């Protein structure tokens, strides 16, 4: 019996970068959280402590800041591709790079004033491996609610089922979505905005028999409208809203006052794919 080193990677996580551009009196602001994970021939440091192939994570952090100055940051995807390719091409022992970026939005209040936009976080994940390059864009924390046009009925009942069937309920969720691109070049910002709008429009315009049906509708709308995308994964928590029982106070409650549930919540997850989608890198499935 032998004990061997399994798969491994290393890097700097959560490098916080704010870049201000000052082309004139009207400034620009980019606010990123960048995480780097490199893989390759890294056995020596694990097995013998030989660090000859271990580019310090401190250097990775410095590279993020230096690249922001040298190359600028046009989009999270473009910046991630730049970083991933840099590490894979300049470090012989490094064969794989995963760059994960969260991008926080800021709304303009004036030429040099901004308010943090809290409605969602844009994400980008770049995978450069010996098999090729995979760009995955997405968003998290986008909270959506329909105050009607949602029902849930026709489900099986067993002796533990207490849920009443309903043809009228609130449907609310916090969208966690990621979608993979067919290729490694695109107008990243335009693609992101288009995919986000498709997600939101599908949520708004779908009469929902279940959150599962809404998920498929959201994914379909994204792939229908964005030919550059191959596949989308969605994780949608069902943020339950319970009609408050006001009968002890002799009050009717005709769908007006709700208890916003916290935990537990249903969690509806699914992938929507084109049947001609190119295969995904294994990282997509993690």
Ligand X SMILES: O=c1[nH]c(=O)c2[nH]c(=O)[nH]c2[nH]1
93 as an active site residue: the answer is: no
According to the annotation, is 57 in a ligand binding site? yes
CB closer to ligand X, 250 vs 262: 262
- C-beta of 218: minimal distance to ligand X in Å? 13
In the bound complex, what is the minimum distance in angstroms from residue 211's beta carbon to ligand X? Answer: 4
Of the residues 123, 129, 173, 240, which is catalytic? 240
253 is in an annotated binding site: no
Minimal distance, residue 199 CB to ligand X, in Å: 17
Which of 2/164 has CB closer to ligand X? 164
**Nearest C-alpha neighbor of 125 from the set 141, 142, 95, 102:** 102
271 Cβ neighbours under 8 A, 6+ residues apart: 219, 231, 232, 233, 234
Task: Report how far residue 273's alpha carbon sits from residue 267's, in angstroms, rounded to the nearest whole number.
Answer: 20
Residue among 212, 213, 220, 271 flagged as catalytic: 212
On whether 169 is known to bind a ligand per the annotation, the reply is: yes
Contact partners, residue 241, CB within 8 Å, separation at least 6: 169, 170, 172, 258, 259, 260, 261
- Establish whether 240 is a catalytic residue: yes
| Rg, the chain, Cα only | 23
CA distance 73 to 140: 21
Does the annotation flag 152 for ligand binding? yes
User: What does residue 184 show for φ and ψ, rounded to 5 degrees?
Assistant: -115, 20
Decide whether 86 or 221 has the Cβ nearer to ligand X: 221
Q: Is 58 known as a binding-site position? A: yes
The reply to whether 201 sits in an annotated binding site is no
Q: Are the C-beta atoms of 200 and 217 separated by less than 8 Å?
A: no
CB nearer ligand X, residue 95 or residue 212: 212
Instruction: Yes or no: say if 125 and 100 are a contact pair by the CB < 8 Å rule.
Output: yes
Cβ 221 to ligand X shortest distance, Å: 18
Task: Please tell me the distance from the alpha carbon of residue 176 to that of residue 267, in angstroms, as a whole number.
Answer: 11
Task: Please report how close the Cβ of residue 282 comes to ligand X at its closest, in angstroms.
Answer: 29
**Alpha helices, DSSP H only, in 112-205?**
188-205
**Which residue, 134 or 238, is less far from ligand X as judged by CB?**
238
CB 88 within 8 A of CB 69: no
Q: Which residues lie near ligand X (CB under 6 A)?
A: 152, 163, 210-212, 238, 266
* Catalytic residue list contains 57: yes
The one catalytic residue among 27, 45, 57, 271: 57
Active site residues per annotation: 57, 212, 240
- For the annotated binding site for O2, the residues are 57, 238
- For the annotated binding site for urate, the residues are 57-58, 152, 169, 212, 238
- For the annotated binding site for 5-hydroxyisourate, the residues are 57, 152, 169, 212, 238
């Amino acid at each position: 019996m032998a004990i061997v080193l399994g798969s491994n990677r290393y890097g700097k996580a959560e490098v916080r970068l704010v870049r201000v551009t000052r082309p004139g009196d009207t400034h620009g602001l980019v606010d990123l959280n960048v995480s780097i994970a490199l893989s390759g021939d890294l056995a020596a440091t694990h097995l013998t402590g030989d660090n000859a192939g271990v580019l310090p994570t401190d250097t990775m952090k410095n590279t993020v800041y230096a690249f922001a100055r040298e190359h600028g940051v046009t989009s999270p995807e473009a910046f991630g591709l730049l970083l991933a390719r840099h590490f894979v091409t300049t470090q012989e022992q490094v064969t794989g790079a995963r760059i994960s970026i969260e991008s926080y939005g800021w709304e303009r209040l004036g030429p040099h004033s901004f308010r943090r936009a809290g409605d969602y976080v844009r994400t980008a994940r770049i995978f450069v491996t010996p098999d090729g390059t995979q760009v995955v864009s997405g968003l998290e924390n986008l909270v959506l609610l329909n105050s009607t046009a949602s029902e849930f009925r026709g489900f099986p009942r067993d002796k533990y089922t207490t849920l009443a069937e309903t043809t009228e309920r609130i449907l609310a969720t916090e969208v966690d979505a990621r979608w993979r691109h067919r290729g490694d070049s695109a107008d990243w910002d335009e693609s992101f905005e288009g995919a986000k709008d498709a997600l939101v429009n599908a949520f708004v315009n779908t009469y929902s028999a279940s959150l599962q049906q809404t998920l498929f509708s959201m994914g379909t709308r994204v792939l229908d409208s964005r030919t550059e995308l191959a596949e989308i994964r969605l994780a949608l928590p069902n943020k339950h809203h319970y009609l408050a029982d006001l009968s002890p106070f002799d009050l009717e409650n005709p769908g007006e006052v709700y208890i916003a549930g916290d935990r537990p919540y249903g969690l509806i997850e699914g992938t929507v794919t084109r049947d001609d989608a190119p295969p995904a890198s294994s990282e997509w499935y993690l």
